Amino acid sequence: MAPPLHTSALSCPSTPPDGALHLLPVAVSTPAHSSVGEPLSYASSTPLPPGTLVRVPLGAREVLGVVWDAPEHAAPLPPGVQPRAIAGVLEGVAPLAPAWRRLVAFAARYYQRSVGEVALAALPPQLRDLGPQQLARRLRRAPPPVHSPGATENVALSAEQASAVAEIHTQPGPFLLFGSTGSGKTEVYLQCVAQALAADPQAQALVMVPEINLTPQLESRVLARFAPLYGDAAVVSMHSGMTPAQRLKSWLAAHTGAARIVLGTRMAVFASLPRLAVIVVDEEHDASYKQQEGARYHARDLAVWRAREQGARVILGSATPSLESWHASRPPSAGDPRGGRYQRLYMPSRIGAGQLPRVCVVDMGQQPRGAVFSPPLLAAITERVQRGEQCLVLLNRRGFAPVLHCHACSWKSDCPHCSAHQVFHKIDRTLRCHHCGFASRVPRACPACGNLDIAPIGRGTEQLEEQLAALLRNVIVEPAGRAARVGRIDADTTRAKGALEEQLAQVHAGEVDVLVGTQMVAKGHDFRRITLVAAVQPDGALFSSDFRAPERLFALLMQAAGRAGRDALYVAAQGQDAQMWIQTWHPEHPVYAALRRHDWPAFAAQQLAERAEAGMPPFAYQALVRADARTQEAAQGFLTAAAEAARAAQLPGLEQVFLFPPVPLTIQRVAGVERAQMLLESPSRAALQHFLSAWQALLHAERARHKGLVRWLVDVDPQAI
């Protein structure tokens, strides 16, 4: 949804005459695609400070709202308009701080959404449903704030870690902590958090990770460090995998100051933290920090803005930083005396004198035809498993096979609702669309011609697990004297609550010898006995139409390589270096050449040079306008008409914004809805923002004229094109 129109008509005077009702602006989540988005005016018998949580009528419903700041130049309500009264105040919850409201207002403005939508999405859902008595009971159960100065745990730091901690303590930042996998970045984060909490008895810290499955491991480590000093209740988590009651409890603890440390995924960037002192964004390059539904904000970028606005330190950490952050942290040079606005900190060495794994690239053009595992890789896996070591096999595609195919009539297992194939899952004999969720049983024969010989094409993690188990069935693990065991971790095996933790515990306990997994096990996990990692089919990303694909592939493979050889003493005892194997049909590709040397700076320099020449981010700024409609013609027609209207109106900033023609998305139909998009690009961020803001009224007007349109949205700084 877009920002609102006619904002002056929705504001109100902040100082009504004596004896009159007080007119208060209240941010509410208005219906999608309505032109009403700014705070609405409601009547109150008493003045309420901005940030107060209230319940207000909206249409036939009663909804949660936030009393907002009155604009400087407020217009009175139109004659004859009677404002509706506020239904009630959420007593016992302190008003949301001005810094939080400024964060929400900035996010709404920059990402072209309404203030109410962003504000209400940032609050725990249960606040919308609890009555006054239920909320009062929750507040009584909330633990009181713990203000214990305590002493931090004495952990011996490497010279690189100590230098990074000292720089962060004495310099303002923002900081980009560029540390190789296994270099001890997490310990640097904990040291900086400890210093901030010890310096101020009310200080709070926010530590963010890109995915839910990384929070339990981090939470246990943070609790072990800080619970003895501040109590268990001082550390809380925030992510979408929690129950509504858990999310509310964590939010209240952070809002009241009882929680000193908040751990979370991208949604945690909006946590109410009145005394925020430090923000950590781990694996800052990860695309998961970009929200892909509703307000499409980037949590990393908001974290940097929030830290600057609240006077907090912000640390972005990664072994493969995003090219945007890498460019922003460039050191001064003769041609660029100012350099970037971030401060880059280096930690190239692994803890304990460990070495990064040796990269072995296998040319599949020289291997037996049809081989899934090349003979050299299979021999290396077998040798490691026999010695009791663990291996990780990476394939970023779940299921057994991407598609079923009939060789007689060329039928494929297409999804009836999407322009995509249904994926074959052999375990439960189903065909599943990974885009809309539609599932069906595997047919006994070809639905088109009756041929009984329908076969899977391509491979997924299920198939790799099955084939590896067959290939290793006669391998004996020493000194245990048992048969080798193959396990799998992907989105299918971790659906049940607690399943991921249970499977990771099995890996850590040595109950799995070869782990097959998707990208969810390739980053952040500290597997101490894995000494070999193999990527069996990584070439698909090399020739993607998305200009960010090589960067993402390099990051994924380097993160995966970092799972091998993390325990230097264990690797040394085995008498053989850790290894990263890559099977490819393009062994001389620059991605693999740089990966052999673990040389992110060289790869980044080459990619940045290409982007500078092509005028792509971070040297230009982009936005996508997407249209979903009943037909592809209607979707593209809306975008074309909106572009023509913008040119006819000569909107501000248009002279610096290039509008590309609308095109279908790669997966152009999902759940029966056709999708098209239009790319906007500009060398000026300000010009692009001015144009998008001015364009909103025309987009709303065009939507009214295109009856086949289902919805439209704006995606600022898109991460996938």
Q: Contact, 26 vs 54, CB < 8 A?
A: yes
The binding site for Zn(2+) comprises 406, 409, 415, 418, 433, 436, 446, 449
CA distances from 578 to 354, 390, 472 (A): 10, 11, 20
* Burial category of 252 from C-beta neighbours within 10 Å (exposed 0-12, middle 13-18, buried 19 and up): buried
The contacts of residue 339 (CB under 8 Å, 6+ apart) are 330, 331, 332, 333
Q: Contact, 295 vs 154, CB < 8 A?
A: no
* Burial category of 209 from C-beta neighbours within 10 Å (exposed 0-12, middle 13-18, buried 19 and up): buried
CA distances from 136 to 130, 252, 257, 273, 467 (A): 9, 12, 18, 21, 57
The closest of 667, 709, 675, 685 to 623, measured between CA atoms, is 685
Q: Contact, 324 vs 341, CB < 8 A?
A: no
The binding site comprises 406, 409, 415, 418, 433, 436, 446, 449
Given the DSSP bridges, would you call strands 53-58 and 61-67 parallel, antiparallel or unpaired? Answer: antiparallel
The closest of 490, 535, 485, 491 to 506, measured between CA atoms, is 485
Helix axis angle for 215-230 and 499-508, nearest 10°, is 90
Helix axis angle for 185-199 and 215-230, nearest 10°, is 30
Q: What are the DSSP calls for 52-71, one per residue? A: -EEEEEETTEEEEEEE-PPP
CA distance linking residue 547 with residue 538, whole number of Å: 16
Cα 568 versus chain centre, distance:
31
